[in-house]
Chain A
Amino acid sequence: MTTIAQPRPPQRPGVLAARQRRFAIASLSPILLYLGVFSLFPILWAMVLGFFSYTPIRQGSWFLGLGGQNPFIGIDNYIELLTGSGKPAEVFRIAAGNTFLFTALVLPLNLAITLPLAVMLESINERFKTLFRAIYFLPTISSSVALVIIWSYMYAPGWGLLSQIFKLVGLVPPKSWLQDPSADLFGVPLAMACVVIAHVWQDFGYNLVIFVAALQGIPKTLRDAARVDGASPWQEFWLVVVPLLRRTVLLTSVLTVISSLQVFVIFQLLTRGGPQNQTQTMLLSIYENAFRFSNNLGLSAAMSMVLFMIILALTVFQFRLLRTEWEY
Chain B
Amino acid sequence: MNHKVWGGLLAAALVISACGTPAPVADQPTAASGGEATAAPSGGEAVELRVWGHQAPAFNAANQAMFDAFQAQNPGVTIKYETFPWDVFIQTIQTSLPAGNTADVILIPGGYTCRYSSGGQLLEVPADVMTLAQAQEIFFAAPLGGQTCDGKLYGFPAEYNLEYGGAYVNPALFEAAGLTYPPQWSNWDAVVSDAKALTQVGSDGVMTVAGMHYTNSDQLFTYFLAGILEQGSDYFAEDGRHFNFNSPEAIATIQKLMDMAQTDGVVDPIIFNAESEWVGESFAQGHNGIGVLGSWYVGDAKIGYPDLTFDYVALPPFIGSEHKFASVGGWGYVVSQSTTNPTMAWKLAAFLGADQANVFAFNSTSATIPAMKAVADDPKLVEAAPFMSAVLPILSAGQYQGNLTDPDQLAYEIVYPTILDAIQGNQTAEEAANSIHEAANAMVDASN
Contacts and interface: CB of A to CB of B under 8 A. Distances in A.
Interface of A: 21, 24-25, 28-29, 32-33, 35-37, 40-41, 44, 56-65, 68, 80, 85-88, 90-91, 157-158, 167, 172-173, 175-176, 178-182, 271-272, 274-277, 288, 291-295
Interface residues of B, number: 64
B141 interface: no
A295 B445 CA distance: 16
B413 interface: yes
Q: Which of the listed residues A65, A85, A86, A294 has the most CB atoms from chain B within 10 Å of its own CB?
A: A294
Contacts of A64: 18, 21, 24
Nearest to B275: A274
Given A40-B14, A64-B21, A158-B271, A32 B9 contact: yes
19 contacts: A21-B1, A29-B9, A35-B13, A41-B17, A57-B119, A58-B119, A60-B26, A65-B24, A65-B98, A85-B438, A157-B206, A158-B271, A172-B204, A175-B268, A178-B275, A179-B270, A179-B276, A272-B275, A292-B90
Nearest to A45: B17
Interface string B317-346: 000000000000000000000000000000
Most buried by B among A21, A271, A274, A292: A292
Nearest to B438: A85
B202 A158 contact: yes
Contact of A37 (B16, B276, B417): B16
Of B20, B413, B442, chain A has the most CB atoms within 10 Å of the CB of B413
Contacts of B412: 292
Contacts of A175: 205-206, 268, 270-271
A35 B97 CA distance: 26
B120 interface: yes
A25 B5 CA distance: 8
A91 B430 CA distance: 21
A46 B389 CA distance: 52
A293 B275 contact: no
Nearest to A299: B446
A271 B359 CA distance: 38
B96 to A, nearest CB: 10
A40 B10 contact: yes
9 closest cross-chain pairs (CB), A and B: A36-B13, A56-B98, A41-B17, A294-B406, A293-B409, A57-B119, A179-B276, A291-B91, A87-B439
Contacts of A172: 204
Nearest to A166: B204
Contacts of A271: 275
B426 A33 contact: no
Interface in B248-282: 268, 270-271, 273, 275-277
Contacts of A36: 9-10, 12-14, 16-17
Given A21-B2, A36-B12, 6 more contacts: A33-B13, A36-B13, A37-B20, A85-B438, A88-B413, A181-B421
Which of A33, A57, A61, A179 is packed against the most chain B CB atoms within 10 Å?
A57
Interface in B428-448: 438-439, 442-443, 445-447
Most buried by B among A29, A36, A58, A276: A36
A293 B270 contact: no
Interface string B376-402: 000000000000000000000000000
B124 to A, nearest CB: 16
A288 B405 CA distance: 16
Contacts of B22: 56, 65
Nearest to B20: A37
Interface in B2-42: 2, 5-6, 9-10, 12-14, 16-18, 20-22, 24-27
B270 A176 contact: yes
A87 B447 CA distance: 12
Given A24-B1, A25-B1, A57-B98, A33 B90 contact: no
A178 B26 contact: no
B276 A176 contact: yes
B94 interface: yes
A167 B203 CA distance: 11
Contacts of B90: 291-292
B17 A59 contact: no
Contacts of A87: 409, 413-414, 439, 442-443
Contacts of A294: 115, 405-406, 408-409, 447
A86 B18 CA distance: 32
B408 A293 contact: yes
B121 A158 contact: no
Nearest to B424: A181
Given A36-B14, A179-B275, A275-B275, A57 B116 contact: yes
Contacts of A85: 438, 442
Contacts of B365: none
A32 B26 contact: no
Contacts of B5: 21, 25
Interface string B49-83: 00000000000000000000000000000000000
A277 B416 CA distance: 12
B208 interface: yes
A207 B389 CA distance: 60
A169 B359 CA distance: 58
Nearest to A191: B275
Contacts of A80: 446
B1 A86 contact: no
B88 to A, nearest CB: 10
Given A59-B25, A181-B421, A158 B208 contact: yes
B95 A32 contact: no
